[in-house]
């Protein structure tokens, strides 16, 4: 099965072209989509309105599932973390976060990550490969199947930098939001980036935009470079200009993610700079508690990152509000499980490869 191509790598238009190549009318592609994404069958034999010859042809060339195994951890707060083993090798994570009327799924775009942010476990795994379109989509479908919950919001904020897997990211969004089936609306999809400036601008130029979240975490180039190596390639000024371009093209407000580190990025001057930065376009700021487990390396250039206390985070939020910033304090979900980005996958790797560092600091 693993040697076959994943049929969910195909958009509807691409599958229509494939049907034409096979000598079948293009409407057969819509029928296949209906079986895959609405009825959720996992075998071509169940596609009752397709000719037997076509079903056999599809089964000969394609496979439907992307994952061979799923491990699940569940927190007391209802957060669920999924570790998926893929037919094409590697493991990835998805996190389901229940919030009143919303079910938000954090989706991975890569197996591992090449950016090596100091605070993130995924970077310790390094980049294994980009995920295929099908592997991105199947995170949504598998979580819905395993939990019985309908996903209301998707955030590309799991393992990996989504904008470094741009083609498959956009294909997966186009399939999930395909108007004739619309598993989820585009305005309920958010792409989170560490700041890949040219790709932010490319995302802005897409004909059907989605929401953008930017992992900022510091307000000076020096501090940002100390915790996020990608900041050495694109500075804060360039990042701000790309965000302005995104808003001018899409008119969609931007979200800024800001992990609050004790005595590193939580002072009055940090608040003033953050206010100036974020007010260049309509936006909101999510303040994130540092989801931490021990790691012997203290960060780049000897920087030791420690969680700010709840009181310190609240004080920082009040400073921002006094400066006119639309700010929210995010709660830490899944603290009693491996719920931080890359943490579950890293713990599995550590179990199998004990020569790796004994723990890791994560967000």
Positions annotated as catalytic residues are: 93, 341
Q: What is the 3-state secondary structure (H, E, C) of the chain?
A: CCCCEEHHHCCHHHHHHHHHHHCCCCHHHHHHHHHHHHCCCCCHHHCCCCCHHHHHHHHHHEECCCEEEEEEEECCCCCEEEEEEECCCCEEEEEEEEECCEEEEECCCEECCCCCCCCCCHHHHCCCEECCHHHHHHHHHHHHHHHCCCCCEEEECCCCCHHHHHHHHHHHHHHHCCCCCCCCCHHHEEEEECCCHHHHHHHHCCCCCCEEEEECCCCCHHHHHHHCHHHHCCCHHHHHHHHHHHHHHHCCCEEEEEECECCCCCCHHHHHHHHHHHCCCCEEEEEECCCCCCCCCCCHHHCCCCECCHHHHHHHHHHHHHCCCCEEECCCCCCCCCCCCCHHHHHHHHHHCCCCCCCCCCC
Q: How far apart are CA 256 and CA 234, in angstroms?
A: 17
**Residue 182, C-beta contacts closer than 8 angstroms, at least 6 positions apart:** none
């Amino acid at each position: 099965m693993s040697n076959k191509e994943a049929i969910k790598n195909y958009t509807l238009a691409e599958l229509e072209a494939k049907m034409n190549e096979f000598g079948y009318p293009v409407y057969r592609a819509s029928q296949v989509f209906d079986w895959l994404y609405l009825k959720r069958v996992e075998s071509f034999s169940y596609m009752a309105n397709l000719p037997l010859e076509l079903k056999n042809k599809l089964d000969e060339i394609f496979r439907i599932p992307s994952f061979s195994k799923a491990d699940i951890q569940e927190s007391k707060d209802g957060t669920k973390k999924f570790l998926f083993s893929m037919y094409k090798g590697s493991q990835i994570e998805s996190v389901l976060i229940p919030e009143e009327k919303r079910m938000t799924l954090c989706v991975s775009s890569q197996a591992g990550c090449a950016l090596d942010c100091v605070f993130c476990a995924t970077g310790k795994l390094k980049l294994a490969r980009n995920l295929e379109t099908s592997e991105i989509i199947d995170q949504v479908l598998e979580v819905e199947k395993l939990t019985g919950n309908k996903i209301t919001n998707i955030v590309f904020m799991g393992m990996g930098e989504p904008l470094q897997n741009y083609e498959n990211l956009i294909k997966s969004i186009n399939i999930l939001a395909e108007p004739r089936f619309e598993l989820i609306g585009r305005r309920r999809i958010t792409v989170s980036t560490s700041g890949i400036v040219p790709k932010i601008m490319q995302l802005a130029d897409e004909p059907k935009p989605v929401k953008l979240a930017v992992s900022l975490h510091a307000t000076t180039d020096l501090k940002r470079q100390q915790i996020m190596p990608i900041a050495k390639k694109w500075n804060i000024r360039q990042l701000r200009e790309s965000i302005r371009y995104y808003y001018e093209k899409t008119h969609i407000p931007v979200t800024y993610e800001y992990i609050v580190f004790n005595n590193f990025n939580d002072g009055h001057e940090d608040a003033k700079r953050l206010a100036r930065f974020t007010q260049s376009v309509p936006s909101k700021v999510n303040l994130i508690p540092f989801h931490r487990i021990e790691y012997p390396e203290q960060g780049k250039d000897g920087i030791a990152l420690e969680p700010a206390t709840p009181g310190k985070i609240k004080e920082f939020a009040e400073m921002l509000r006094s400066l006119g910033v639309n700010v929210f304090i995010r709660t830490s979900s899944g603290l009693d499980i491996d719920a931080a980005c890359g943490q579950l996958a890293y713990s599995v790797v550590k179990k199998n490869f004990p020569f790796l560092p004994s723990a890791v600091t994560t967000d």
